């Protein structure tokens, strides 16, 4: 089964991800080398600060797929964004089509500030559910209110949210306790997606194969976490 990356900043000139088309090309080549056939270009969106540049984004997405064709890598890039949640405005923009859901679905990759309060996360995903959207919580390992709070993570998932952990966290957890936290998330089935959150071809690069090998060595039945289930499969 080819791998799928549901969180990646590979379109240039739109956020702090790829700085130019040369970087985008290098990232697509890394996708191919990592066995990734499908990528969602999740450009940052912060609708409380400025509008998402949808037409520019769609142009870049089309150009990225043309580039994939020219390079013959067998990689397809799908629409999406990583939205910094803002009460009300996020729902309105998703409803209006001014923010793209993940790969054309009614699922949205949502992030919060690391010190967000738990009640705010729960309220946000319920508001999104009210308009028919599922929240995919980006890099859940960053949120202080969820750290080792498996009861809360269970409650969020029971309320319909999906959870995403970054590949780099699995490869190199920031310390002993973080490693145990990630291990428990994986062993208890509290992770829905592992994704690269890649921003470049050097420091924050596409590293899915290494994460895949790390996870599968310990949890052989967790391959589906790398397949973009319900989004790209």
| Residue ranges binding Fe ion (CB under 5 A) | 82, 197
Rounded Cα gap, residues 118 and 139, in angstroms: 15
Q: How crowded is the C-beta side of 37, counted as CA atoms within 13 Å?
A: 7
Rounded Cα gap, residues 82 and 196, in angstroms: 13
Tell me the residue ranges of DSSP E strands in the chain.
3-8, 36-45, 76-84, 107-111, 134-137, 162-166, 193-195
Q: Residue 99 Cβ, how far from Fe ion at the closest point, in Å?
A: 15
Give whichever of 197 and 227 is closer to Fe ion, judged by the CB atom.
197
Give whichever of 114 and 119 is closer to Fe ion, judged by the CB atom.
114
DSSP one-letter code for 141: G
Q: Residue 102 Cβ, how far from Fe ion at the closest point, in Å?
A: 13
Q: Residue 46 Cβ, how far from Fe ion at the closest point, in Å?
A: 12
Give whichever of 13 and 216 is closer to Fe ion, judged by the CB atom.
13
Give whichever of 82 and 227 is closer to Fe ion, judged by the CB atom.
82
Q: Residue 193 Cβ, how far from Fe ion at the closest point, in Å?
A: 12
Q: Residue 80 Cβ, how far from Fe ion at the closest point, in Å?
A: 11
Give whichever of 44 and 188 is closer to Fe ion, judged by the CB atom.
44
Residue-wise burial string across 45-75, b where 16 or more C-beta atoms lie within 10 A, e elsewhere: bbbeeeebebeebeebbeebbebbeeeebeb
Rounded Cα gap, residues 47 and 98, in angstroms: 10
Q: Residue 199 Cβ, how far from Fe ion at the closest point, in Å?
A: 7
Rounded Cα gap, residues 111 and 133, in angstroms: 14
Residue 16 tokens read as 């702090």
Give whichever of 31 and 82 is closer to Fe ion, judged by the CB atom.
82
Give me the residue label for tokens 């420091």: 203
Give whichever of 47 and 151 is closer to Fe ion, judged by the CB atom.
47
Q: At 35, is the secondary structure helix, strand, or coil?
A: coil
Residue with CB nearest Fe ion? 197
Give me the residue label for tokens 């936290």: 181
Q: Residue 217 Cβ, how far from Fe ion at the closest point, in Å?
A: 26
């Amino acid at each position: 089964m080819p791998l799928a990356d549901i969180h990646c900043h590979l379109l240039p000139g739109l956020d702090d991800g790829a700085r130019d088309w040369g970087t985008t090309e290098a990232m697509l080549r890394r996708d191919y080398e990592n066995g990734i056939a499908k990528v969602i270009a999740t450009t940052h969106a912060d609708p409380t600060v400025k509008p998402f540049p949808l037409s520019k984004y769609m142009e870049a997405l089309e150009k990225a797929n043309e580039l994939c064709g020219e390079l013959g890598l067998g990689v397809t890039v799908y629409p999406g964004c990583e939205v910094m949640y803002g009460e009300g405005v996020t729902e309105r923009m998703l409803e209006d089509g001014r923010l793209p859901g993940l790969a054309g679905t009614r699922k949205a990759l949502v992030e919060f500030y690391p010190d967000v309060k738990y009640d705010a996360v729960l309220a946000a995903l319920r508001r999104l559910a009210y308009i028919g959207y599922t929240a995919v919580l980006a890099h859940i390992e960053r949120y202080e209110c969820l750290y080792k709070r498996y009861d809360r993570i269970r409650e969020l998932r029971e309320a319909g949210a999906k959870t995403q952990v970054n590949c780099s966290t699995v490869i190199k957890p920031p310390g002993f306790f973080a490693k145990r936290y990630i291990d428990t998330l994986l062993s208890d089935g509290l992770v829905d997606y592992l994704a690269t959150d890649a921003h470049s071809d050097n420091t924050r690069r596409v590293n899915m194969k290494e994460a895949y090998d790390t996870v599968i060595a310990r949890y052989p039945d967790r391959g589906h976490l790398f397949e973009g289930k319900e989004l790209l499969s």
